[in-house]
Amino acid sequence: MKEEYLLTDTLEYTNEPYAIAKIAGIKMCESYNIQYNTNFIAVQPTNLYGPNDNFDLEKSHVLPALIRKIHLGKALINKDWDIIRKDLDKLPIENINGSNSENEILEVLSKYGLKRKSEKEESDIQIEIWGSGKPMREFLWSEDMADACIHLMMNINFKDIVKLDDLRLKNQEIRNSHINIGSGKDISIKQLAEMIKSIIGFKGELYYNTDKPDGTLKKLTDTTKLTNLNWKYTVEIEEGIDRLYNWYLKYL
């Protein structure tokens, strides 16, 4: 998705509310620059992950949610209740913490997709993932995002991106002057889940619930504009997952 594609078609339904909120901010900055000669640079980041991420299973995004669920799934297989209770003491789920009974903990974990395939096989854990696993998603390490913002603030002005006088002379509209920040690479949800499973060492099964929505099938940003401004990300997704999982273990 190039910057100029923004608002050239309808927004995907499940993304519409927060997409409109973000677009409003981008357009406000753009309009201030055009009308009052301010020097705002609006950026549009891809999906971010990194230290201090949100691991709340009720509200988190896909990558930290998968890390936590697969971490708990591994502990369930190993019947390591110390790890499970430590996790829930740090981040209770629906007021269920480490002091609750095993049955209460299993019940709330089941609600969030950590289930036994069979009542007879306690160690046979299945983790539910919404959708088919086919949607492609792009991820960027949060500290790379911060570095990109600092690079733009220190080195780039709005006039370097948009030649206002030239466009006005040609009577051309000024639109979509924001800059995409991303890696320019995407990965399927299934590939992501398998990668996390391998890094954590989970031996159970991943189950894709196709009764749940997939959302937008592809959300890859075109980062040509940012690359031409001499910035590139540094953390590949596999390294980032390993870093974040180790951060999470220390956080617990």
Tell me the per-residue pLDDT of 111-153, one tens digit each, with 9 for 90 and over: 999 988 766 565 689 999 999 999 999 999 999 999 999 999 9
Half-sphere exposure (Cβ direction) of 205: Cα atoms closer than 13 Å:
11
pLDDT value for 167: 66
Q: Which residues pair with 130 in a beta bridge?
A: 209
The tokens describing 29, both together, are 């900055």
- Positions marked catalytic: 18
Report the number of secondary-structure helices (H) and strands (E) in the chain.
10, 9
pLDDT value for 169: 66
Between these two residues, 54 and 163, which has the higher pLDDT value? 54
pLDDT value for 121: 61
Cα-trace Rg, the chain: 22
- Over residues 159-179, the mean pLDDT reads 81
CB neighbour list of residue 187: distance below 8 Å, 6 or more residues apart: 136, 137, 138, 139, 195, 237
Q: Which CATH superfamily is domain 3-251 in?
A: NAD(P)-binding Rossmann-like Domain (3.40.50.720)
DSSP 222: P
Distance CA 93, CA 95 (A): 5
- The separation between the first and the last C-alpha atoms of the chain, rounded to the nearest angstrom, is 38
Amino acid at 149: C
pLDDT interval class at 15 (50, 70, 90):
confident
| Per-residue pLDDT tens digits for 205-226 | 999 999 998 988 998 999 999 9
CA distances from 247 to 67, 68, 128, 137, 251 (A): 11, 12, 24, 22, 6
- The answer to whether the CB of 122 falls within 8 A of the CB of 79 is yes
pLDDT value for 171: 75
pLDDT value for 212: 93
Question: 């309808």: which residue's tokens?
Answer: 10
Identify the three-state secondary structure at position 137: strand
Using the predicted structure, report yes or no on whether residue 32 has a pLDDT greater than 80: yes
Count of beta carbons in the 10 Å neighbourhood of residue 73:
24
- Over residues 89-104, the mean pLDDT reads 97
Distance CA 87, CA 85 (A): 5
Domain map of the chain by residue range? Answer: 3-251
Q: Which residues pair with 29 in a beta bridge?
A: none
Using the predicted structure, report yes or no on whether residue 9 has a pLDDT greater than 70: yes
Q: Residue 198 belongs to what H/E stretch?
A: helix 189-200
Name the percent of the chain lying above pLDDT 90: 84
pLDDT interval class at 63 (50, 70, 90):
very high
pTM of the model: 0.91
